[in-house]
Structure 1
Amino acid sequence: MNERIYMSSPDVGELEEEAVLAAMRSGWIAPLGPDVDAFEAKLALRIGVAHGVALSSGTSALHLGLLTLGAKPGDVVVTSTMTFAATTNAIMYTGAEPYFIDCLPETGNMDPELLRRGLIRLAEEGRRVAAILPVDLLGKAADYTNILAIADEFEVPVLSDAAESLGATHKGTAAGSFGAASVFSFNGNKIMTTSGGGMLMTDDAEFADHVRYLATQARQPVVHYEHADVGYNYRMSNLLAALGRAQLSRLDEMIAKRRTVRNLYKELFSRIDGVEVFGVEGDEEDNVWLTAISIDESVTGFSPDKFASALARQNIESRPIWKPMHLQPVFSRFQGEISGVAEQLFRTNLTLPSGSALKPTQREFVLDKISAFIGGRK
């Protein structure tokens, strides 16, 4: 197969094309418009919160969420080390410092006990913690039951980075509905896409209004251009919101397709010693955005790197799970509660093609090449 098989390509078709064309023909080409309003309302209804604010990216939503919570230079934001750099970048934009919390080995999500330990240490040091910023990894919601209880104990607000978990739940409650606010990403590789984009979700009307205010250059409500605060050009365009509305109508269908891919991997790797699908326990509540596998080289005789190289030779994309933030050169000077779990997951875990846009022939090709590699090694 000559075409490259990606981990998570955008899944778009005629419905999305029609929606964007209709938005163009309506004349609402400039940022904001009726599709933005409708997209915000429909996603808020889906998640079960009062307000959504459509923005240019998940990163911008994190940035404005932290600013609205009052994060500023000298503050600390306690966050997951097992995440994409955007989470920590948004903290840095505010001038606050990240404090990294390691993860649970079963899920890769924030370890609540390490969170408690970190908050105790920061309190003893007299540091002001502006927010707790947990991340939902690969479509599995974090343990918000315990995280929110600890946050309440220490009187620290929670901003949930649900960029990867739209459509997932935690104990029956939708990801994106936890904490003071939460953030989704609609980047091209996410469960649904607006090409680029994100949304902040909250039940707090004042919170939503302040985010909208900052996202539109902090313009005062007067006829001329008046600015009392530094603002940002962070709002989503009407055209992209139209794409998002179409994608949202297909969300359950796309999750079901990813679930099919996950189940095929489960079946394949259940027969292979030393390889298992990561985070399968309780994955019925996941949106199964990406499927990762854990490889025990002492059993398999091959490393994740060798496995990835074999897939690459077949034009199949794979990638190690996120490199922990405390190992990133740009963030390595910051402190945290590090147990070594995230480092171990980075060394042993590999994400595989998981997207809803995968054709049956592509799925079969990937499974065949994996089977051939492992069979050949044996």
Structure 2
Amino acid sequence: MRSRDHDRIYLSPPHLGRHELNYVHKAFEDNWIAPTGPNITGFEQDVCQYTGAAYAVALASGTAAIHLGLILLGVEPGDDVLCSSFTFVATANPIVYQGATPVFVDSEPNTWNMCPVRLREAIEDRIRVGKKPKALILVHLYGTPAQLHELLNIAAEFEIPVLEDAAEALGSHYADRPLGTFGAVGVFSFNGNKILTTSSGGMLVTNRQDWAQQALFLATQAKDQAPYYQHSTTGYNYRLSNILAGIGRGQMELLEDRVKKRREIYAWYKEKLREVSAISFGPHEPVGSRSNRWLTTILLDANQTSATPEQVRQHLESRNIEARPLWKPLHQQPLFASSPTYGGAVCNDLFMRGLCLPSGSSMTEDDLQRVVDALREVVL
């Protein structure tokens, strides 16, 4: 039998409880094996109750939710859409789906999210060239709230609607208010590595009933009201299944426990590595906010260690421990080589220096100690 010391430690594996099967079994018993059913309705209600959003639409992915959100905000071919550069490609891909142009904005060094100074610069410059942005996608990276007060004020000043990408941030708060509810549209992801998972899936939230109805209409192939299949609008196959929604219902019952555990993991790493001067932790929570600490992330100081993030990652891999680089900025991606970019030095530096550590809520103290020991072997 293989020793526990050799079991693989994954970055952020799914962590199921005991209640998910109750909802899934109920779906089987009632034959709701479809992209409709009581689990979907219940899951949407659960998310509304938790976040305070008036309406929620359960979808096949967070990417689908962003895409539909952009449609609701009126983004069309030729439009500019402001977007964080320091994020996963799924944030920006739906901009391209709409035939629009991503306009990338650099991070600030505290929360690692969009920089208000660079945002204003981008808006004013795009207006100067006759391309006022149609929308702003505002990301909360690794579950850490962005500087919402400043960013939302700028967006309001220029009357630019906000799509809030809280894909990584379910369970995070800003000023005692759940993330995902500050924009005209909010988006969550339930991918397999997220703090709450349905294997795959996403959710769009909004306070506008007409938008929720339109999102549902578009997500279910845009079928006109007729006794036969008639379609006047391009639709999408974006609805979540009733089976996966059942997993989501069970996961929602565990969300606060999962947030608590992830925050404890972040604090544990920080305490055990406090004397390792080459390692610092981030991003930092704005005053009065709470990050769900979806992933614990570190930065290496090249003046304190010769080890690069890739060397550290490979060393951890040799110990059967999964880690990964921070997001490569989107303005550096070949896909977006021609997209306008404002700033870039901050997120470039973060990418060059950073690493994500294993952060799954099922990790034991022995697992955490293995990661710390492996880090010490290569960084010190």
User: Could you tell me the TM-score, scaled by structure 1's length?
Assistant: 0.97
The answer to whether the Cα contact below 8 Å between 2:269 and 2:368 also exists between their aligned partners in 1 is: no
- C-alpha separation between the residues in 2 aligned to 1:226 and 1:307? 56
Give the aligned partner of residue 324 of structure 1.
329
Q: Deviations over 1:156-202 (max 9, x none)?
A: 10000100000001122110101111100000000100000000010
Give the aligned partner of residue 71 of structure 1.
75
1:210 pairs with one of 206, 214, 218: 214
The answer to whether the Cα contact below 8 Å between 2:146 and 2:286 also exists between their aligned partners in 1 is: no
Secondary structure at the aligned position of 1:300 is classed as coil
- C-alpha separation between the residues in 2 aligned to 1:19 and 1:356? 22
- C-alpha separation between the residues in 2 aligned to 1:373 and 1:111? 33
Secondary structure at the aligned position of 1:129 is classed as coil
- C-alpha separation between the residues in 2 aligned to 1:139 and 1:234? 24
Q: Deviations over 1:101-124 (max 9, x none)?
A: 000111110001111111111111
- C-alpha separation between the residues in 1 aligned to 2:344 and 2:179? 26
Pairwise mapping of residues 251-270 of structure 1 onto structure 2 (< 5 A)? 251-270=255-274
Matched, 1:151 2:145: no
- C-alpha separation between the residues in 1 aligned to 2:248 and 2:84? 28
Q: Deviations over 1:113-141 (max 9, x none)?
A: 11111111111111142210011100011
Structure 1 gaps, min length 5: none
Give the aligned partner of residue 40 of structure 2.
36
Q: Deviations over 1:264-305 (max 9, x none)?
A: 111022111121111245486100000100101221232212
Number of corresponding residues: 375
Matched, 1:174 2:183: no
- C-alpha separation between the residues in 2 aligned to 1:258 and 1:296? 25
Cα deviation for residue 308 of structure 1 reads: 1.2
The answer to whether the Cα contact below 8 Å between 2:144 and 2:285 also exists between their aligned partners in 1 is: no
Q: Which amino acid aligns with 2:246?
A: A
Pairwise mapping of residues 45-60 of structure 1 onto structure 2 (< 5 A)? 45-60=49-64
Q: Which amino acid aligns with 1:241?
A: A
The answer to whether the Cα contact below 8 Å between 1:168 and 1:286 also exists between their aligned partners in 2 is: yes
CA RMSD in angstroms, aligned pairs only: 1.3
Cα deviation for residue 40 of structure 1 reads: 0.4
Matched, 1:342 2:330: no
Secondary structure at the aligned position of 1:14 is classed as coil
Q: Deviations over 1:184-230 (max 9, x none)?
A: 00000001000000000100111111111100100112211111100
Structure 2 gaps, min length 5: none
Q: Which amino acid aligns with 1:314?
A: R
Give the aligned partner of residue 360 of structure 1.
365
- C-alpha separation between the residues in 2 aligned to 1:331 and 1:254? 35
1:17 pairs with one of 16, 21, 24: 21
Give the aligned partner of residue 306 of structure 2.
301
- C-alpha separation between the residues in 2 aligned to 1:210 and 1:254? 33
Secondary structure at the aligned position of 1:182 is classed as strand
Give the aligned partner of residue 199 of structure 2.
195
The answer to whether the Cα contact below 8 Å between 1:265 and 1:277 also exists between their aligned partners in 2 is: no
Identity within the alignment, %: 42
- C-alpha separation between the residues in 2 aligned to 1:88 and 1:311? 31
Cα deviation for residue 360 of structure 1 reads: 3.1
- C-alpha separation between the residues in 1 aligned to 2:254 and 2:18? 12
Give the aligned partner of residue 119 of structure 1.
123
Q: Deviations over 1:10-47 (max 9, x none)?
A: 00133222321222212111111111011101101110
